[in-house]
Amino acid sequence: MYKRLTVAVAVLLFVAACNQDPMAVSSNELALAQNAQVITDNVVASPSSANNGMSCEGLFRRLLDTLRTTDNAQARADLMQAHAYRDSAFAARTAGDTASARSYRQLAFRSVLSAVIELFPNAPARTAAAADTAIARIEKFLGDREAPRIRALLAHVDSLRTEANTALASGDSVTALSLNLRSIQILHRLVEHVRDNHRDHDEVADGEMEAVGE
């Protein structure tokens, strides 16, 4: 009887081990991701931080707050253009043309970024500094602890920062700001990116940012 019970337990343990997803993220890495996410938020959302407000939501709030007291014709025109693009995106989506809808949403977001740069010309440089600061602090926090998904995402974000620097050097400040904000958005939602292991992290981050202000 005892022998049969032992065999049965062994079989159950074997089956459970076989059914475990080898690609599943560990609870330990999720905890590390949560701490890393808090680090990012402290960089871009803490009043005491030099980079406070350097996130997509933070810059959008600053844009609207500034336009309440400042009459900048170009910034307002950019926002009007963004609104027109969003209307086109809605019409395309209603017609079932998802590709055009996606394209119009991207154009709307770039128009918003143009308005941000019109009012805050140093936004590309400041978001670059915010992203770099967050990356450095997270890497220091991780030390030599095992966190393969987090490290892969950090490497990806680092590559986005390289692209942003190249864009800024070529005079494309809107693309530079977009890439910097994408970097920050991924780090800001790091737990979800680590847990869900998205097929396209950039697409997820861009979709979240494009929804700001809708």
Q: What is the pLDDT of residue 23?
A: 61
> For the stretch 174-210, what's the b/e string if a residue is b when 16 or more beta carbons lie within 10 angstroms of its beta carbon?
bbbbbbbbbbbbbbbbbbbbbeeeeeebeebbbebbb
* Residues of the chain with confidence (pLDDT) below 70: 1-23, 213-214
Q: What is the pLDDT of residue 47?
A: 84
Write down the domain spans for the chain. Answer: 25-210
Q: Which amino acid is at 134?
A: A
107-123 pLDDT per residue, tens = 999 999 999 999 999 99
pTM of the model: 0.86
Cα separation of 9 and 3, whole Å? Answer: 10
Q: Which amino acid is at 7?
A: V
